[in-house]
A and B are shown apart, each in its own frame.
Chain A
Amino acid sequence: MDVFSAAAANILVGNAGDTAVLEMHYPASSFRFTQSALIAIGGAGFSPTINGEPAPVLQPVFMRKNDILQFSSPSGGARTYLAVHGGFRTEQWLGSGSTHLKLAHSGYKGRKLKKNDALKINEGVYSQAIKQMNTPTALPWKIIPLSDDSDVISVLRGKEWEQLSEASMRLFEEREFQITIQSDRMGYRLEGEVLNRINSMEMISAAVNFGTVQLLPDGQLIVLMADHQTTGGYPRIAHVVTAHLGRLAQMKAGDKVRFRCVTQQQAEKMLLEKESYLQQLKTTCALHLEEWIRKNSKK
């Protein structure tokens, strides 16, 4: 869901940004490591501990055999990501290693993790070196998250925006909309001021995107999320900009969302800046990791 946080965690441990990670909600699982590994935690964080001691977020951590990783509070957002050097071994299907819960297919046995599952880790560039190490836990570099203190979600106007009444166009940007309990990875259902269309024509089904804001016939909104369908028939009044999808993915039922319309250029600029920041991190982290491995490997 929060693609940027997952990518950041991956980059810290020297993986490609789209390597398989674990996505967790709170309460999250506890993990006992059966071999040493290099990990990083991204996203919400959930106040992680290693053998009971607080552990850092967005910083690579060296786990020794029998170390226990736990998460102690629902802090920082809705979803935490666990990346491991080499990546988790999952079943690939249609170009993805994700688990499709509805189809009970691919990923990890097509289902959510449960107690006593044993996860395998793929061989990464430094896996052999890591297995032979025995060093203190936190590594000496970390990612400082981009300061992003506003809670407003930027959106682009959609094809059917013009069908809204003028009053509804204003309400859309002025009011808060609450994420309801009927929200999941497919979409967030919002509750708020009823929005009206000046034209009630049925729209024939057409493509939708991650972040598309659809207006339901009862005047309420749905924001399509990571597991969204490919097409839909409800008016697409707006699209959350890609750069803000992570922020939205970290919100949960009960949280309130406020939208602000931006231009295509602004949306693209936000995204390209974020991507170039990830690229910089990738280069820097790769250098740090290489040096650290060299210094700490057995001669």
Chain B
Amino acid sequence: MPDKFVIFPLGDSAATIYFGNVIDMPTHKKVASLYYKLSRHPFKGMIEVVACYASVTVFYNPTEIERECGSVFENVKRKLEAIASIVEESKEVAGKRITIPVCYDNAFAPDIETLSEWSGLKIDEIIGMHSSQQYHVYMVGFLPGFAYMGNVPAKIAMPRKARPEKVAVGSVGIAGIQTGIYPMDSPGGWQIIGKTPLKIFDVMQQPPCMLGAGDIVQFKPITKRELENFKCRHS
């Protein structure tokens, strides 16, 4: 790894390799390469790996970790340091290109007014900004199939809410420079500005997640009627 990282414990059963509090492609490439390396060559006691924007977290069973000296975590940390320091940046991940229809109608956008006040932009301008560029899928997490995408233009990059609220399936939200789609009804703190009729997570599909890290997404505005018609066609 060309740049530095730190390893810290996430409780007593996981360790995080952390590259910084940034959302950018160079960092994410390091994350991806370490993620693939660990997934393909798990060490004894390792349960699973979770890749995020700028960190990789390894979950482990403390009773199965081989120990030389020190705590279980220290042993895991030594292992991870050795692996992380020889991993090379991965090549560009060739993902899918997907267009996602989104209805930005007020009926499905409970927070678009708040975002308009926060940004000083008209609702049409917000829709234009959100849907006129491509987004990179950095990671999948939070809920099954929830894709974290970026980067949202700074003018509409409104922070999360103070308290999570109920969010409906298909809702499209913004949290800082991230944008994402709720694959199911869930509590959530993102600012909701629209809704897609697409099934982002489907247990009957293989794989069940529509989006994966490396995919390129473009949102396409649709009307309320188009949203309802879409639902009829697909139900």
Task: Name A residues whose Cβ lies closer than 8 Å to a Cβ of B.
Answer: 93, 102-103, 105-106, 156, 158-159, 186, 201-212, 216-218, 229-234, 236, 239-242, 264-265, 267-268, 271-272, 275
Contact A218 B163 (CB under 8 A): yes
The answer to whether B9 and A232 have CB atoms under 8 Å apart is no
Which residues of chain A are near B52, meaning CB under 8 Å?
A: 204-207, 231
Tell whether B162 is near chain A: CB-to-CB under 8 Å.
yes
Stretch at the interface among B91-99, B129-137, B178-186: B178-186
* Residue ID in chain B nearest A267 by CB atoms: B12
27 A-B pairs in the complex with CB atoms less than 8 angstroms apart: A102-B185, A103-B144, A105-B203, A156-B12, A204-B21, A204-B23, A204-B178, A205-B141, A205-B178, A206-B53, A206-B54, A206-B55, A209-B10, A209-B11, A209-B14, A210-B11, A216-B164, A229-B141, A230-B50, A231-B50, A231-B139, A231-B148, A264-B9, A264-B12, A268-B62, A271-B13, A272-B72
Q: CB distance A102 to B142 under 8 Å?
A: no
With beta carbons under 8 angstroms apart, the residue of B11, B63, B71, B162 that contacts A239 is: B11
Of A203, A209, A231, A265, the residue contacting B13 (CB under 8 A) is A209
Residue numbers in B under 8 Å from A207 (CB-CB): 10, 14, 16, 50, 52, 55, 57, 141
Would B12 and A205 count as touching, CB distance under 8 A? Answer: no
Instruction: Determine whether the beta carbon of A275 is less than 8 Å from that of B63.
Output: yes
Interface residues of chain B, those whose CB is within 8 Å of chain A, are 8-14, 16, 18, 21-23, 50, 52-55, 57, 59, 62-63, 71-73, 139, 141-144, 148, 159-164, 175-176, 178, 184-187, 189, 201, 203
Q: For A206, give its contact among B12, B16, B203 (CB under 8 Å).
A: B16
The answer to whether A217 and B163 have CB atoms under 8 Å apart is yes
Docked-complex contact B62 and A233, CB < 8 angstroms: no
Do A204 and B22 touch across chains, with their CB atoms under 8 A apart? yes
Given A102-B185, A205-B178, A233-B175: A159 and B10 interface contact (C-beta under 8 Å): yes
How many A-B pairs have beta carbons closer than 8 Å: the answer is 124
**What are the residues of chain B within 8 A of A241 when measuring CB–CB?**
11-12
Closest B residue by C-beta to A222 = B164
Known: A103-B203, A202-B176. A242 touches B11 (CB 8 A): yes
Whether A212 lies near B10 (C-beta < 8 A) is yes
Q: Which residue of A lies closest to B50 (CB)?
A: A207
- On whether the beta carbons of B142 and A205 are closer than 8 Å, the reply is yes
Contacts of A158 in B (CB 8 A): 10
Of the candidates A202, A205, A231, A271, which one forms a contact with B62 in the assembled complex, judged by CB atoms under 8 Å apart? A271
Known: A103-B184, A156-B9, A232-B142. A202 touches B14 (CB 8 A): no
Q: Which of A93, A202, A210 contacts B159 (CB 8 A)?
A: A202
CB distance B178 to A239 under 8 Å?
no
B160, A233: Cβ atoms under 8 Å?
yes
CB distance from B186 to the nearest CB of A (A): 7
- B50/A205 in contact, CB under 8 A: no
- B25 CB to closest chain A CB (Å) equals 14
Question: Which residue on A lies nearest to B142, using beta carbons?
Answer: A229
Contacts of B141 in A (CB 8 A): 205, 207, 229-231
- Residues on A with C-beta less than 8 A from B16 are 159, 206-207
* Residues of chain B with a CB closer than 8 A to A231's CB: 50, 52, 139, 141-142, 148
Residues of A near B142 (CB, < 8 A) are 205, 229-232
Instruction: Give the shortest distance, in Å, between A101 (CB) and chain B (any CB).
Output: 11
Chain A residues near B203 (CB, 8 Å)? Answer: 93, 103, 105-106
Decide: A201 and B57 in contact? CB cutoff 8 A: no
Cα(A136)–Cα(B38), bound, Å: 52
The CA of A271 and the CA of B62, in the complex, are separated in Å by 8
In the bound complex, CA of A158 to CA of B42 (Å): 25
A210 to B61 Cα, complex, angstroms: 13
Minimum CB distance partner of B10 in chain A: A209
**With A102-B184, A204-B23, A206-B57: A265-B71 Cβ-Cβ less than 8 Å:** yes
Min Cβ gap A228→B in Å is: 10
